[in-house]
Structure 1
């Protein structure tokens, strides 16, 4: 074999080797690209469980703990009044200074029925501590504590539209809230006993939109909650405002809670493949509630509520199965809590 043939064979093997090496590089690039996309998606979608669905037959359990703090001054009037919890005042006048601490632990169970359909069950446990005083009535400071199971809820979420370059993903949800918690209408003394639930059923439907704009995910949504009327049929008694030595009574036949409209918008930003930050503004507007007292239906005074909060959170992907999410929500309106601190730890199987 002459020198020219040897050179040709060498060049042939060199090109073959280079071709094979290039092929391996391309494969490695694809693997890294796929892993990068998965990690990127994982890091951004950990910010809020309401915006990503589980895959078919995928199972998830989420443990969450939240601390909610309220401080408010409520003016007493000689009528029914609604706060959280609902309470009845008959003939009392003054200003109530209240401090409310709510600790809530929840277990959420989720299951992917299909790749685009998810079922969820949420079980909350509530502990409440309240400290309040009334100015103008001569009463001193009082405290109350109570705990128990909250209102269980179940939800179905479906993604009818997938995200493309030009359109966002669309997720539609329908939820039902029970009244398993202790109802405010069943309390013997609202100043000593505290509710752990709302006391009525509710059905909530919503639409959420999500769009990825590397390295940011922008999201927003709208929801409407139909709060069902609740039959009460309970007689309440209290001092007569015209004659403190006498008492008067009123029968609460039925309560019609106002429906609630909800709106939220925000974005999440990936600082790395495993860590992200998110910012969200949300607002809930509850229409005026009504009550039927002694057979007469009327509006509940001061029952319209406007709660707006600003939420700042982080998502840390601990592994491909679990993550840690921490958020702080700050109230922007008088009806909103002063702040909410929340920890969530979901785990997928």
Structure 2
């Protein structure tokens, strides 16, 4: 029996019952029937009417059950569409065929009682967002249940700043009494990271990231309070493991073509990297009074030195063929007590309680699929970093800093399980790195 006949079987049975009743009624009205036979026919008709009534009620109950199973099957199909592998869309045949098969395994009679069309794309209301090149730390599409994504990445960052310090006072414009310190600071950071993501459910995933940092810093200038008339170059570098991170993400709602997908996340960053308080600083005795030296670290740190907790909310809205996305976040740095700074000679300079400024972040962008394998995206990343506090008071010279980057992303789906993702970033403020390059290769298992 084909799907079409199965679909109209309740209606056919109802029509057959009505026809039987009609024929019986015609027989009852036949003038040739005797009174005795008429009574028997009436009793038979009453029995048939009662039986047909029970059959009609049974058909109604079966129809109601089939409608419930049909709705459950539609929900399973929408869920399977969201579980499509990264780099694929919800319009592929695999997602459509997997949902009916999974439902049939749970109840083998479902597909017989209510046929499902296979091979046609789901409605626009149930489409999952298309995977676009990843620009920010928060990915767009979560990992399906039971799937694992291994993502090696390599990031390069370059910064160049000019710093001018005036020690003295001005008598008239352009005439300064005291010392002038001019420094050019060039900083290069190369970070290789191994990231793993695992889907706990269809709406929740966990992630762990282990970075390894190599950092090189060059400063051109003159030492303060030395009266030197020549420039000197101060080079320092450092390499070690960075700050390990763990993140949990959860999809809050079931988005559609008319409302965005909302994903909440919670990120925790440790301080496994070498922090700024562990490295030796180029100060002769004290960096506070700065009686000599550059005041710069002799080896570069690879971590921030503070534990960090960052809740965030990510949204994605699909407007074919584009996908709009963005994130709002707040990062809290936990204070450290009894902190000391190491200076030349191994001496410790006690600083007390130090707290790095909290970070308010926001980003937004747009992704566009050029074809079934290539996509392009552009976005802006903004972060406002608060002042650093020492013993409850702002550190002298510490101000709120605004970091802003313009990002361009490109992705190519090499295979169903491998995607190449490349991002280029340009700093929009002086405190932001001038250039960032990031290469990610997510591998699905």
Q: TM-score normalised to the size of structure 2?
A: 0.62
Change (3 A) 1:278 1:342: same
Structure 1 portions without partners, runs of 5+: 1-26, 79-91, 239-247
Q: CA RMSD in A?
A: 2.9
Output the CA distance in 2 between the equivalents of 1:256 and 1:315: 39
Q: Which residue of 1 aligns with 2:182?
A: 95
* Corresponding residue to 2:140 among 51, 69, 82: 51
* CA 234–43 in structure 1, closer or farther in 2 if over 3 Å, else same: closer
One of 375, 378, 393 as aligned partner of 1:276:
375
Aligned to 1:159: 251
8 Å CA contact retained: 2:280, 2:342: no
Q: CA deviation at 1:30?
A: 6.0
User: Contact (CA 8 Å) 1:95, 1:136: kept in 2 or not?
Assistant: no
Runs of 4+ in structure 1 displaced over 2 angstroms? Answer: 29-34, 38-49, 74-78, 135-139, 235-238, 248-251, 296-300
1:123 alignment partner in structure 2 = 210
Partners of 1:145 and 1:47 in 2: CA distance: 28
Q: Please give the per-residue CA displacement for 1:195-216, whole angstroms capped at 9, x wherever unaligned.
A: 0000010000000110111100
Q: Secondary structure at the match of 2:159?
A: strand
Cα displacement string for residues 253-309 of structure 1 (whole angstroms, at most 9, x for unaligned residues): 1211110000001000010011100001010001111113xxx84434234211000
Give, in whole Å, the separation in 2 of the partners of 1:77 and 1:176: 40
Report whether the alignment pairs 1:31 with 2:119.
Answer: yes
Does the CA-based 8 Å contact 1:102-1:126 persist in structure 2? yes
Shift of 1:55: 0.9
Q: Which residue of 2 aligns with 1:304?
A: 400
- Report the 3-state secondary structure (helix = DSSP H, G, I; strand = E; otherwise coil) of the residue aligned with 1:185: coil
**C-alpha deviations, 1:104-148, integer Å up to 9, x for none?**
001101100100000000000000111111247435012112100
- Give 2:15's aligned residue: none
Instruction: Select the structure that is richer in helix.
Output: 2
In terms of Rg, which structure is larger? 2
**How many angstroms does 1:251 deviate by?**
2.4
| Structure 1 Cα separation of the partners of residues 422 and 343 of structure 2 | 45
Deviation at residue 57 of structure 1 after TM alignment: 0.8
* d(CA) in 2 for partners of 1:266, 1:255: 35
| Partner secondary structure for residue 285 of structure 1 | strand
In structure 2, runs of 5+ residues without a counterpart are 1-96, 98-116, 168-178, 282-295
TM-score by length of 1: 0.78
